[in-house]
A and B are shown apart, each in its own frame.
Chain A
Amino acid sequence: MKARRLLGYRRRSRLGVNVVMIIISLLLVLPLWYVLNNAFKVEKEILRQPLVLLPSTVTLENVVRAFTAMNYPLRFMNSVVILALSCAFLVSLGTLAAFGIAMANSKFMNRVYGVLVAMITLPFQLAMVPLIFMLKGLGLMNTYWGTALVYSGWFLPFVIFIYTGFIRTIPRELEEAGRVDGCGLFRSLLSIYIPLLKSVTGTVLILRGVPIWNDLLVSIITLSRSTLSTLPLKLYSFIGTYGSAGTKWTLVFGSTVIVSAPILLVFLFLQRYFVKGAVAGAVKG
C-alpha cells in the first residue's frame, strides 16, 4: 500500500497523470477496437463509413464466413496439439534438467548450465536452415512432434534457466532431510519439489506458451502441408489470398477476430497471472 501512495506527489498532479493515461490507453487499444467493431458490421457499412466506432447493425456473418473459410476447428486443433506437446516437453524436461543441475551443484553441471544460459539469446535463424534439412531426414517435417521438438529445443534453455533459478531458492535442507529418511532423488523431486513448482510452472507456461501459440516463424518453415497449419499460419496465408487486394475486408476482419479470440478469453480469466508471469522471467534474467 505504501508504494501506491507514491512519491508524495500532490493530489492534483495525480489527477493530471490519470487524465493523460486514460487518453493514452484508449488511443493504444483504438486499433484493436476498430478491428473488433468492423468485424461485426455489414459489408456495405465497412466500406461506407469505416471510421464509425460502433456498428449500426450487428451481424455475425463476417465471423461465420471467416470461420468456415479458414476451416477454423481444424486450425484450432492443430494449434492446441502443438502447444500442448511443446508445453509438455518444456515443463517435464525443463523440471528434470533444472532439478538435476541444482542438486548436483558440481563444477561440471554448472558449466553445462552456463552453456545453456548463454544459448538463450542466440538467434533462432542461426539454427533454422540445417534444422529443416535434419527434420526432413528424420521424417519430422509436417508432423506435430517435429514442430513441438523445434520449439522445445529453442526454448528449453530459457525454461531450464527459470526453473533452476527457482529451485536454487528452495532450502537444500529440504532435500537433505528427505535423503535421511531414505528418499531417493526421484522421490524427493516428486513429493517435495514438484508441489513447490506450481507457480513457476505457470510463469513458464505464460512466458513460452503464449509465444508458441502466436508464432509464425517455426510453423511457416516446419508445416508446409496446409492441413497442418496453425491459426496464425492459416491467417497469414489468408492475407495472401484476400487481404492485400482489399476486396474481402469482411473476411480479414472476421478472421482476425476469431484467431485472437482464444487467447483473449484466457487472458480475461487469468489476467493477474499473465501480468505477473511476464515480469517474473525478465526480472530474474
Chain B
Amino acid sequence: MERRGLTQAQRRQFACFLFTLPALVVVFVFFLFPMLRSLVYSFTNWDGIGRDVQWVGLKNFVTVVTDSSFRQVVINTLYLIVIYVPVLNVVALLLAVAVYNAGRAGSIYKSMLFFPNLLSMTVIALIWKIIYNQGGILNQFLKAVGLKILTRDWLGLPQTVLPAMSFTIIWFAVGYYLLIYLAGLNTVPVDLYESAEVEGVTRAQKLFRITIPLIAPSITINIVLSTIGIITLFDLPMVLTRGGPGYLSQTLALHVYFYAFVQLQTTYALALAVLLGIFAMIITSIQLRLLRRREEASR
C-alpha cells in the first residue's frame, strides 16, 4: 500500500510538472535561451549569420566601452535615473497624499492623473514632440505671455533635451506610481492620525513620522520599478528624440537597438546588452538591499 501511495504522489508531481511545461518551453525558447546566447556570444565574433564562431575574449566589450559615444550614453542613462527616480517618487507620493485627503473627488483626480498611462508611448512622445517643437505650443505660449526670451528648440539643445525628456516621462508615469502609493496609504490605520492630531503633531511630522515609515513597502516597490523602467525605457525616447541631437539623449537601452538594428553591429549590440543587464541587476539589487534595511529599521 505504502509503495503505491508513493508512486501516486510521484505521479501527481509529474502531472504538475506537465502543467507547467508549455509555459516553461515558451519562456525558455523565446526569452531565457536568447538571453543565455547573448551572454555567451558577447565573448565571440558571432554576427548572427556566420557559422564560424570564434572566442574573442573581452574584445567586444573593450570596443563598446572605448567607443566615443559610450561615455555620453552612460552619463545620459545615469542622469535620467538620478533625476527621474527621485522627482517622480516625491511628486507621486505628494499627489497620492493629496488625492487621499481630497475626499470624494479623489477618485476623479486619480483617474485623470492615471489617464496618460493608458496611451501608447508613441502617442505620448508624438504629442510632446509637437509641444516642444521650435514652432510648437510651448514656445507659442511663452511668446504669448511675454517670455519670448525663454523660447528655444527644447529637444534640439544639449542643455534642455534631457530635462525635457525627463519631464515628459514623469508626466506620463506619475499616475501609475500614485496609484501604488495610494494603495499603501489605504493600509495605514486612520486612528494613528487621529491620536497624533490629539497630541498636536504638525502636518510635516505626520508625513515623515507616520505616513512614510508605514508605507515603506510601497516606496521600495516604486523606487525599484521606476529604476528598472527608466533603464529599459525604449519607446518614448525612440519617438521623442531618437537619441538626438547627436548622442545627447541616447540611453543604453536605445543604444543596444541602434547597434543591433541600425548599424547592424551584432557583436557590439550583444556586449552592450550584457552590460545593460549587469547594470540593471546591480542597481536594483543595491536599492533592494538598502530599502529593505530601512524598512526593517523603521519598524
- Enumerate A98-151 residues with CB–CB distance to B below 8 Å: 99-101, 103-104, 106, 109, 112, 116, 119, 121-134, 149-150
Shortest Cβ distance from A125 into chain B, in angstroms?
5
A51 touches B137 (CB 8 A): yes
- Among the listed A4, A152, A252, A264, which residue makes an inter-chain contact with B126, where contact means beta carbons less than 8 Å apart? A252
Please tell me if the beta carbons of B34 and A50 are within 8 angstroms of each other in the complex. no
Residue of A nearest to B231 (CB): A123
- Contacting residues of chain A (254-270) with chain B, CB-CB under 8 angstroms: 256, 259-260, 263-264, 267
Chain A CB within 8 A of B257 CB: yes
* Option from A35, A50, A278 in Cβ contact (under 8 Å) with B114: A278
Contact A106 B13 (CB under 8 A): yes
Q: Which residue of B17, B38, B140, B266 contacts A50 across the interface (Cβ within 8 Å)?
A: B140
**When the two chains form their complex, are residues B38 and A127 in contact, meaning their CB atoms are under 8 A apart?**
yes
Query: What is the minimal beta-carbon distance from A3 to any residue of chain B, in angstroms?
Result: 6
A67 contacts the other chain (CB 8 A): no
Contact A4 B104 (CB under 8 A): yes
Our pick among A17, A29, A214, A285 for the contact of B115 (Cβ within 8 Å) is A29
Q: Are A235 and B231 neighbours in the complex by a CB distance under 8 Å?
A: no
Contacts of A215 in B (CB 8 A): 120, 235
Q: Which of B104-125 contact A (CB under 8 A)?
A: 104-123
The listed residue (A100, A153, A246, A259) touching B27 by CB distance below 8 A is A153
Known contacts: A217-B235, A235-B122, A264-B118. The answer to whether A4 contacts B103 by CB under 8 A is yes
Complex interface bits, B137-181 against A, C-beta within 8 A gives 1, otherwise 0: 100110010000000000000000000000000010011100110
B246 at the interface (CB under 8 A from A): no
- For residue B5, CB closer than 8 A to chain A, the reply is no
B interface footprint on A59-96 (CB within 8 Å = 1, 0 otherwise): 00000000000000000000000000000010001101
B92 within 8 A of A: no
Whether, in the assembled complex, B16 has its beta carbon less than 8 Å from a beta carbon of chain A, the answer is yes
Contacts A185-B16, A263-B119, A267-B118 hold; do A130 and B37 have CB atoms under 8 A apart? yes
B276 engages A123 (CB within 8 Å): yes
Inter-subunit contact A129/B95 (CB<8 Å): no
- Distance (whole angstroms) from the CB of A51 to the closest CB of chain B: 6
Say how far B285's CB is from chain A's closest CB, in angstroms: 10
Instruction: Indicate if B290 sits at the interface (CB-CB under 8 A).
Output: no
B121→A214 contact, CB < 8 A: yes
Q: Which A residues are CB-close (under 8 A) to B24?
A: 97, 112
With A32-B115, A129-B269 as given contacts, are A153 and B123 in contact (CB-CB < 8 Å)?
Answer: no
Q: Which of B15, B38, B98, B280 contacts A129 (CB 8 A)?
A: B38
CB of B41 closer than 8 Å to a CB of A:
yes
* Chain A residues positioned under 8 Å from B38 (CB to CB): 126-127, 129-130
**Would you call B13 and A8 a contact (CB within 8 A)?**
no
Contact call A235/B126, Cβ cutoff below 8 A: yes
Residues A160 and B23 in contact in the complex (CB < 8 Å), given A106-B13, A119-B32: yes
A125 with B253: in contact, given A153-B27, A259-B123 (CB under 8 Å)? yes
* Distance of A112 Cα from B107 Cα, bound (Å): 40
Bound CA–CA A22/B98 (angstroms) = 11
Which residues of the partner chain A approach B274 to less than 8 Å between Cβ atoms?
A: 126
Complex: chain B residue closest to A123, CB-CB: B232
Given known A31-B128, A128-B260, contact A282–B180 (CB-CB < 8 A) = yes
Asked if B17 and A109 sit within 8 Å, CB to CB, the answer is yes
Q: Which one, B101, B184, B239, contacts A236 given CB within 8 A?
A: B239
Given known A93-B23, A279-B183, contact A216–B121 (CB-CB < 8 A): yes
Taking the closest CB of chain B, its distance from the CB of A157, in whole angstroms, is 6
Given A123-B228, A129-B48, A129-B256, 16 more A-B residue pairs with CB atoms under 8 Å apart are A3-B190, A8-B190, A14-B102, A122-B35, A123-B231, A123-B253, A128-B256, A128-B257, A130-B37, A130-B270, A214-B119, A216-B235, A217-B257, A239-B126, A260-B119, A282-B179
Instruction: List residues of chain A with CB under 8 Å of any chain B CB.
Output: 2-9, 13-14, 17-18, 20-22, 24-26, 28-29, 31-32, 34-35, 50-51, 89, 93-94, 96-97, 99-101, 103-104, 106, 109, 112, 116, 119, 121-134, 149-150, 152-154, 156-157, 160, 185, 189, 210, 213-217, 220-221, 231-233, 235-236, 239, 243-244, 246, 249, 252-253, 256, 259-260, 263-264, 267, 271, 274-275, 278-279, 282-283, 285
- Across the A-B interface, the 4 shortest Cβ-Cβ residue pairs: A153-B30, A100-B19, A104-B16, A97-B23
Q: Can you give 20 A-B contacts (C-beta < 8 A)?
A: A7-B100, A7-B193, A25-B108, A32-B119, A35-B127, A100-B20, A104-B17, A121-B281, A126-B274, A127-B35, A129-B266, A129-B270, A132-B261, A134-B33, A214-B122, A220-B238, A233-B122, A256-B123, A282-B179, A282-B222
